[in-house]
Amino acid sequence: MTAQQDLLRRYEGSLLGVFGTPPLVLTHGDGCYVWDADGRRYLDLLGGIAVNVLGHGHPALVAAVSKQAAEAIHVSNLFTSRPQIELAEQLLRIADAPDGSRVFFANSGAEAIEAAIKLARRTGRPGIVAAEGAFHGRTTGALALTHKPAYRAPFEPLMPGVSHVPYGDVDALASQVTSETGAVVLEPVQGEAGVIVPDPAYLRAAREITTAAGALLILDEIQTGMGRTGRWFAHQHTDVVPDAITVAKGLGGGVPVGALVTFGDQVSQLLQPGQHGSTFGGNPLAAAAGLAVIQTIEEQGLLANAEHLGRLLAERVRDEAPDGVTGVRGMGLLQAITLAEPIAPAVAVAARDAGFIVNPVAPQALRLAPPLILSTTQLDQFLDALPGILQEATS
């Protein structure tokens, strides 16, 4: 029995089985690479599901967290800290948030969505409209917005007042938003659904529909934010100004942190003192990590790198069209390679055997969400290997 097999046996014997048994025990990483417990190296093209935007062991993130850990890890929200204040200021800046905007810090994306739900409820309107295919988290409130039946059914009845409409369908959205709608919650790109990119006109229409109805437009940027699509936030590819966005995943570069950013004074006043809270949200350690992430993305030009590599990936897949691949869709370094047959799980296993970590996000789609520090050479290594991986998966 290898070290990895022994650890996985112990995993099965000690952890609640909600994730199934993972295929690997990872011990450490360096840049875009990770190593398993048997010493095998993999090119990490998933980045902890779009979390590790700076890769693994980035010196700036390690230094910031180490320094902060030696000073103060936690002070509660009975007090505040310089990193928390500075991260809020930086988030408002990169979000292009207008005067009067504010930030609430949580521990995760799901918690950011819970805060957004409370924000919507404070409009006095009980309804929330979300999209089919949406994934907003697994806490019970966020689960009510999430669409996948397999996630929802075991826990129904869920929070009332939520309806789902086909993603990208302007008419369907318009028909569902009424004077009883507090908010429309949408992902600018649906990640869990298979990296679905709507027409830019869809978000603009959503803005117009919600404004006309007096409802909030809340954009879930948990997966698409922090440079993932080549802009700080995916909605910035359009001229749409939302009422609020939720942020997490890449924000801490691996340190758990989430945030709700409210746009403008009127929306920011909806939640009053005592109406929400979080013991750990925005603690100094997580905030220091977030500050290091933002500073490093800017210093190393990682927004441009994400946009550049996303374009290269799309061009190579389309130009070379490996057998079994039907195309590619996505933005920046959030991409899905689409397959002719529902063999994505087998392809992911073959890719792992070849030293690459990818995600079979749908039966016919492989999701790539690598660190934003990925190099052209590393991307080419995967694309060069892809035909052989596909052949292995179907042999």
Rounded to 10 degrees, what is the CA torsion of 106, 111, 114, 115?
A: 10
Other C-beta atoms lying within 10 Å of the C-beta of residue 320? 12
Which of 36, 44, 104, 220 does the annotation list as catalytic? 220
Other C-beta atoms lying within 10 Å of the C-beta of residue 278? 19
Which of 243, 249, 280, 382 does the annotation list as catalytic? 249
Closest among 111, 315, 329, 161 to 229, alpha carbons compared: 329
CA 146 to CA 140: how far, in whole Å?
10
CA 205 to CA 200: how far, in whole Å?
9
CA 181 to CA 284: how far, in whole Å?
36
Which of 135, 233, 280, 382 does the annotation list as catalytic? 135
Residue 138 labelled as part of a binding site: yes
Q: How far is CA 316 from CA 228, 310, 319, 320, 337, in A?
A: 20, 10, 5, 6, 11
Closest among 46, 41, 43 to 360, alpha carbons compared: 46
Structure tokens at 275: 């109406």
Amino acid letter, residue 307:
E
Residue 176 labelled as part of a binding site: no
Residue 135 annotated as catalytic:
yes
336, 301 in Cβ contact below 8 A? Answer: no
- What are the residues facing 362 on neighbouring strands? 365
Residue 135 labelled as part of a binding site: yes
54, 253 in Cβ contact below 8 A? Answer: yes
Under 8 Å CB-to-CB from 200, ≥6 apart: which residues? 237, 238
Residue 222 labelled as part of a binding site: yes
CA 26 to CA 354: how far, in whole Å?
16
Residue 220 annotated as catalytic:
yes
Residue 221 labelled as part of a binding site: yes
Residue 278 labelled as part of a binding site: yes
Does residue 157 have a cis peptide bond before it, meaning omega lies within 30 degrees of 0?
yes
CA 44 to CA 382: how far, in whole Å?
10
Closest among 300, 304, 365, 290 to 333, alpha carbons compared: 304
CA 355 to CA 382: how far, in whole Å?
9
Amino acid letter, residue 50:
A
Catalytic positions: 135, 220, 249
> From the annotation, which residues make up the binding site for N(2)-acetyl-L-ornithine?
138, 278
Residues making up the annotated binding site for pyridoxal 5'-phosphate are 109-110, 135, 220-223, 279
